[in-house]
Amino acid sequence: MITASKTFYYEPNTSIWLSELSRVNSKQYHHARTMIQLSGTCQCCSMCGTTHQEQEDKYGYVNARVRDYKVLNADIATARFCEDCRRLQHSMFQLVTEVIPDGFRYDG
């Protein structure tokens, strides 16, 4: 496991973040880049590409907003997930995350 990026908190889905991800995990890099391209914005979930903010859909379900997280046990120190993908990452890969508060100052 490469951990050099652990000291840097780059804003998820930005060019510097993608560059770091390509260095440490090329498969995740290609997937995240594809999701960003398909969604048309970097303000999307890195896993599924959803861009929703917290809102109620036509069936009355509330879609949790896409948020930035510190990732405490992976090759890259930050990620942008919707709540469904964050839970999936936790249950499948035991990914430990912590919400990054609004106004956080990213490195780079």
Domain regions of the chain by residue span: 4-99
C-alpha 106/C-alpha 104 separation (Å) is 6
Per this entry, what is the length of the chain? 108
pLDDT tens digits, one per residue of 36-51: 999 999 999 999 999 8
Instruction: Considering only CA atoms, give the Rg of the chain.
Output: 14
- Position 4 pLDDT exceeds 60: no
Question: Which pLDDT value is given to residue 75?
Answer: 84
User: pLDDT class for 8, splitting at 50, 70, 90?
Assistant: confident
What is the pLDDT, as a whole number, of residue 20? 94
Report yes or no on whether pTM surpasses 0.85. no
**CA separation (Å) from 20 to 12, 24, 45, 61, 105?**
10, 6, 17, 36, 18
